[in-house]
Chains A and B, each alone.
Chain A
Amino acid sequence: MSDAKTRLVARAARDILPGMVVNLGIGLPTQVVAHLPPDFPVCLHSENGITGVGPTQSYDDADRNLIDAGGAYVSALPGTAYFDSAVSFALVRGGRLDLTMLGAFEVSAQGDLANWKIPGKFTPGAGGGMELAQKARKVAVLTTHCDRKGQSKILPACTLPLTARACVDRVFTDMAVIDVTPEGLLLREVLEGLTVDAVIAATDADLIIPDGRIPTF
Chain B
Amino acid sequence: MPLATMFIIQLMHSLVYGMLLFLVAAGLTLVLGMMNVLNLAHAAFYMLGAYLAYAFLKAHVSYWYALVMAPVVIGLLGILFERFLLRRAHRLGHFHELLLTFGAFYILIEVARWIWGTTPQPVAAPPLLAGSIHLWADQVYPVYRLFVLGSSVLILLAFAYLINRTRIGILVRAAVADSEMVNVLGINVPRLILLVFGAGSAVAGFAGVIAAPFLCAYPSMGGDILLDCFVVIVIGGFGSIWGALLAALMIGLVQSFGVLWIPQFALVLEFALMAVVLIIKPSGLFGEKE
Judge: A and B partners, yes or no: no
Interface residues of B (CB under 8 A from A): none
Interface residues of A (CB under 8 A from B): none
